[in-house]
Amino acid sequence: MSNNWDALVTFDQQHLWHPYTSLNHPTPVFPVKSASGVRLTLEDGRELIDGMSSWWAAIHGYNHPALNAAIENQLKSMSHVMFGGLTHKPAVDLAKKLINITHDDLQHVFFADSGSVAVEVAIKMAIQYWASQGQPQKQRLLTIKNGYHGDTFGAMAVCDPDNGMHHLFSNVLAQHLFAQSPNCSGQTTYDQTAIDDFEHLLKNNVGAIAAVIIEPLVQGAGGMRFYSAAYLKKVRELCTDYNVLLILDEIATGFGRTGTLFAYEQAHIAPDILCVGKALTGGYLSLAATLCSSKVANGIGDGQHPTLMHGPTFMANPLACAVANASLDLLLNSPWQENVNQIEQQLITELSICRTFTSVKDVRVKGAIGVIELHQALDIHWMQPRFVELGVWVRPFSNLVYVMPPYIIEPADLSRVTSAIKQVVSEITETSP
């Protein structure tokens, strides 16, 4: 690496915060020169096969000509215009697409800046719905432990309060209700003990609960845990029985990652409110959306508090909407389901040997998601550079090594990723006491 890039990295580590890092104890950073397809090219010339889709988002890989063209074409007319009192074709077209590909009940769209903001809006929708119905006391959320919904204050308040990343702020967060997380990885059975705990909290607090919020089938940054569609279906039934709104956070799982376009489809249910983001723009620009049913929209609009109280400056940014439209067209016109299924089968086959390592607690795969859970916390300062040495980009956290590659990854490239994972995990096993 040149002296210029040495200086860049030094400045970066002295002055820039990266996600979940300490300035006093920085983790290694690797300057990227360019990205194309499934490859990241570093400034020193090394190429890394991307196993992370830039945190679930770059499902089509990088530098895609169709997505580039969407950005370039939109730039010729306008890069941004306020959404207060104005509208534009990219936003309307994107709303139409989202309404068409989600459940028929979901007919209304709020565009947000990020996934966390989409969750904030969903929480506001639920609370304001009940306020408009003359029940302002219904302000609490019910969720399950091991969940993650974002890093803003409303979202933090519904993340796992004990094992999550936000316990430092617990005294200033809204206090919500947490049922035990289900332990049921199959599709047809559910954890009765977990359902009983969930229903107990719901029944005893129904007068104060505005909504249930949950990540369908896959709990992401809270532990990369999977649970059954049968459990999710039961949650929907209980929400209906107790007249509580259901918010589904599909920011990580939406747009094909679990094998269906949206994870909730596997439970044959519909949410009252749906949050999407991450892969919405194919990883190009930050954009998210909160969709809701006419019941929720009309319940707010016809009630005592008809104006939804949220409005980001960059709401429905035309550049982001344009590339999101192109990304959805690209996805829907591709054999994405076949690709995700192929990735799933290859991950199952190639990661299975990790079950024999004494350092490994569990190996699990769902759709284009592969997870190796170890018994102990990982040394990220050692592990991240080791993956780079092996020519892949994998970003572990806590005691988890996980991948969610772009859908376009070729089998040979995916094998290089899984081989690197097996190599690193085997090295951990050799050094474990």
The catalytic site residues sit at 20, 148, 249, 278
Relative orientation angle of helices 411-431 and 380-389, to the nearest 10 degrees? 140
- In DSSP terms, 392 is beta-bridged to 49
Instruction: Quote the tokens at residue 237.
Output: 């039934």
CB 213 within 8 A of CB 158: yes
Helix (H, G, I), strand (E, B) or coil at 154: helix
Among 56, 75, 46, smallest CA distance to 369 is for 56
User: Which pair of structure tokens corresponds to residue 315?
Assistant: 């709401």
CA dihedral 11, 16, 19, 22 (to 10 degrees): 80
> Helices in 306-394 by DSSP H: which ranges?
318-332, 336-351, 380-389
Strand runs labelled E in 192-346? 209-214, 218-219, 225-226, 245-249, 273-276, 288-293
Q: How far is CA 338 from CA 49, 187, 190, 332, 334, in A?
A: 21, 20, 27, 12, 9
Q: Among residues 244, 252, 245, 208, which one has the least CA distance to residue 118?
A: 252
φ, ψ of residue 276 in degrees (nearest 5): -130, 155
